[in-house]
Each structure stands twice: as structure tokens, then as C-alpha cells.
Structure 1
């Protein structure tokens, strides 16, 4: 199995996560005292991971990697694809291998799948709400420190597109930047003069649109605007740059905002507030 994500070190993630649970790296004092005390070293277990709720699955390759890291000979059958929607009660992975290794990896594997599946499932709920509008759902930088790449991977599995990955791949001029620069156009001008190619400018008033565009903004973020205001802003912009709506978006409001003609809607709660999915794993001795 090969699972790679840009800017994500899978081996380092496995090692640090397991060391956190074991009190240190394996072979350097880290251990699962319960499994070592209770489970015979030669015990073989079989296991089934299942989704106990309707969900969009994400994270199974990482769960598989946890089990293989502790038992390279473990037999694993992944039963569903990443990003696949499943009904409650669906088996998503079967395993057979060393009992101690399975129990030691269990929590780390489940935590990862539960968290990423929760994000993918919530994301898919939002994506389905705006089907047919032509609007694209984006995530944000509101991620748990250290987990951004994984969480943004999960939003893709749910059907969204990634916004900028960090502070390095695009400029986003927000109210604090404007406050220091003195105006929207001055902030945009400074970014343009610095050679930044993609300049996203947040505006919360209609009268900021033309100055931002004149100064060189390549994208506009319309912040906390009601649908009627968004519709007027889209008409004024007239397709000159891509337009994103953001702020206070919920499942109840996203459709109306998408129908105003904006190109994108970004939703922070996809990664900030998604509940973990109820994913279970039951073992039995062989």
C-alpha cells in the first residue's frame, strides 16, 4: 500500500502518534502495558471495522498504515473506497494479524478514521446542498494545528476543493491588513508590488470592490454579506475576477448564497466543527 499526500510525512505521523499513546517510541520505553500483560504474544486476532452511521469514508489508508507499522504481516482487506458514501452498518475494513499489535494500533487508527470521516461527511452534506448551482465549496485554514494536510484531504474526499493551504501560497488581504495599510487599494497595491501572483482581497462593503480591483486583486472574498448584497456585488464585479462568499454560512443558508452567482463559498466549520463519525472496530481471537 502506498499513500502519499503533498507536504505530509506518513511515517513521521505514525511514529509521533503511536509514541504519544505509548509514552515514547517503540523500543525506547514506549509500550502498551495492558496488551503486554493480558494478551499472549502469539495470539492472532481477526477484526472488522464498520461504520455505525451513514457516512462518507476517509482515512482508511492511514488506519491501514498504523496496523502495518506494528505488524508488517497483518492481512488487511479494505472494503470501500476513499470518499465513498456508505450506509450505517457497512463493514469498511477486515483485518487478521497479531493480537497485541492490533490492540496497540486500534485507537490511533480509529481516531484518524473517525475524525477524517466526520469531516468528509459534513463536507458532503454542504456539497449536496449546492448541487446544480455551479458554485464550488471551499475549506479554510481553520484546522487543528499539525493536521491541516489530513483535514484538507478529508474535505476533498467529501467533494470540496481546497482553499489556500497556508500563508505561503496566496495573499489574503483581510481587515487587519487593511487597517494597517490604510485602505483596501493600498494593501492590494503593496501585495502586487511585492510580486505576489494570487491576491485575494476580502471586502465587507460594496464600495471596496472597485478600489480592490483597480489595485490588482485577482480574487474577491465577499465577507458576511446577505444574499441580496451578494447578488448586487456579483453583478458589479461582472466576471472580472473569481468571487468567493464567506462568513456565517450554514446548511440552511448555503443554497441561497450559492444561487447569487458567486463562484465559491468557503466554510470554516468543515474542519473546525465537524463531529467525529461513529466508526467501530471489533476483534475476536482466531
Structure 2
């Protein structure tokens, strides 16, 4: 809607996701690893469990930056198809930050990529059906 401010920013929502998941911190990481170990540089990758279409990279990067502004987050482009076993995301930063954020990032990327994968399958279905001269199109509504 033109001229109306959004009710909330995506930053606010991403911070809520992180706060909901970890609250005041990752108790397990703090009890298992020493202070020095928690602050050592570590790396992590997210590998595809199945074929799909990726979505959410910028949000994952943003979530990680809340915990570690110096962390690196590289993801394949949004909208890019991927195959099972492919590396979708590579992260590097303090071990504690990676462990703190990984579940929130993974949940969000799985949810968004699931939506884009399902949408892509419908688009492909319509494309194939149109070849047989059927008049089809995909439309979106705001009604729920």
C-alpha cells in the first residue's frame, strides 16, 4: 500500500525469531565449551537434503550478523534450483555465534525454500499443461 509504513520491519521479526529460540543465550554451548573455544573461528555448511529452489539467504545472513557482525555468510542466490547434497550455505564466525544461530537460520531457510520449491513445481506444471493448449495461469490472492 502506497504511503503506509509497514507494521513491523523484517529486522524486528528476525530478532523475534532468534529471541524466541535462544532467549538469553545458548546454555548448552556455554556449558560444553570453554570461553576460548566458544570464541574461536569455526565454519559450518548447510547441505540440501533434497532437490528444491533456494530462498532466504539475505535473512540468514542478517540473523547471523546479530550475534557476530564479523561473521561471513555465503549462500546460493535466491530462486536458484539446487540438488540433494549441494552446499547451499557456508558460514564462518565465532563457534558460539554459529551454534546460537544455526537452528533459527536452518528453520527459516527450510520454510522459505519449501514455499519457493512448491511454487516452482506449480509453475512447471502450468508450463507443461499449456503445451497441450489448456488455458491456465497461477494467480495470487491475499484471502486466507
TM range (shorter): 0.7 to 0.9
2:127 is matched with 131
SS in 1 for 2:39: coil
* Cα shift readout 1:37-71 (whole Å, capped 9, x = no counterpart): 12333222111112121101111111111111110
Residues of 2 paired with 1:111 and 1:77: CA distance? 17
SS in 1 for 2:46: strand
1:61 is matched with 58
Q: Could you list the structure 1 runs, at least 4 aligned residues long, displaced by more than 3 angstroms after superposition.
A: none
Summarize the alignment of residues 1-286 of structure 1 with structure 2, pairs less than 5 Å apart.
Answer: 7=6, 9-23=9-23, 30-39=24-33, 40-78=37-75, 80-131=76-127, 133=130, 135-139=136-140, 163-164=141-142
Q: Which residues of structure 1 form unaligned runs of 5+?
A: 1-5, 24-29, 140-162, 167-267, 269-286
Residues of 2 paired with 1:114 and 1:63: CA distance? 11
Residues of 2 paired with 1:135 and 1:81: CA distance? 29
Q: Which residues of structure 2 form unaligned runs of 5+?
A: none
Residues of 2 paired with 1:20 and 1:116: CA distance? 18
Bigger RCO (CA 8 Å, 6+ sep) = 2
Q: Higher helix share goes to which structure? A: 2
Normalised to the residue count of structure 2, the TM-score between the two structures is 0.81
Residues of 2 paired with 1:34 and 1:61: CA distance? 27
Preserved CA contact (<8 Å) 2:15 2:63: no
SS in 1 for 2:87: strand
Shift, 1:138, TM fit: 2.7
* Cα shift readout 1:83-124 (whole Å, capped 9, x = no counterpart): 111111111111111000110101110000001111111111
Aligned length: 131
1:208 is matched with none
Q: Tell me how large the CA RMSD over aligned residues is.
A: 2.0
